[in-house]
Amino acid sequence: DSGVTQTPKHLITATGQRVTLRCSPRSGDLSVYWYQQSLDQGLQFLIQYYNGEERAKGNILERFSAQQFPDLHSELNLSSLELGDSALYFCASSVEGRLAGKTDTQYFGPGTRLTVL
């Protein structure tokens, strides 16, 4: 158990819908990261927050948005869902988020498996 929690574990929805994925980082971690893992795309970095502020942005679609709240939990919002959005969505957290040291080690949550029908 990494200490990172994600809810829900599974989500099945229809095209065009909107969903929210939730993540609680490990105690003491200030950075939260979101990733998408699909079979044909590997692990894709979406976005990082550090202490409530956006720090880095990856291949995140405009239909997707995220935020980190004052209590450091984070939510990833996916809207106008398409079949291709079906994937495993990971949240990860790290103590730091600005350097390349061991304190930047990311610990991953169990993931949310999203199925869009």
Q: Which residues of this protein are in contact with other proteins, per CB under 8 A?
A: 2, 33, 42-43, 45, 48, 55-58, 88, 90, 92, 97-102, 104-108, 110-111, 113
Greatest alpha-carbon span in the chain: 41
Q: Which is nearer to other proteins, 85 or 89 (CB)?
A: 89
**Residue burial 81-102, b: 16+ Cβ < 10 Å; e: rest:** beeebbbebbbbbbbebeeeee
Please report how close the Cβ of residue 42 comes to other proteins at its closest, in angstroms: 5
Q: Which is nearer to other proteins, 79 or 103 (CB)?
A: 103
Please report how close the Cβ of residue 18 comes to other proteins at its closest, in angstroms: 24
For the record, the structure tokens of 38 come out as 């699909």
Q: Which is nearer to other proteins, 22 or 26 (CB)?
A: 26
Please report how close the Cβ of residue 34 comes to other proteins at its closest, in angstroms: 11
- Burial of residue 32 (CB within 10 Å: 0-12, 13-18, 19+) is buried
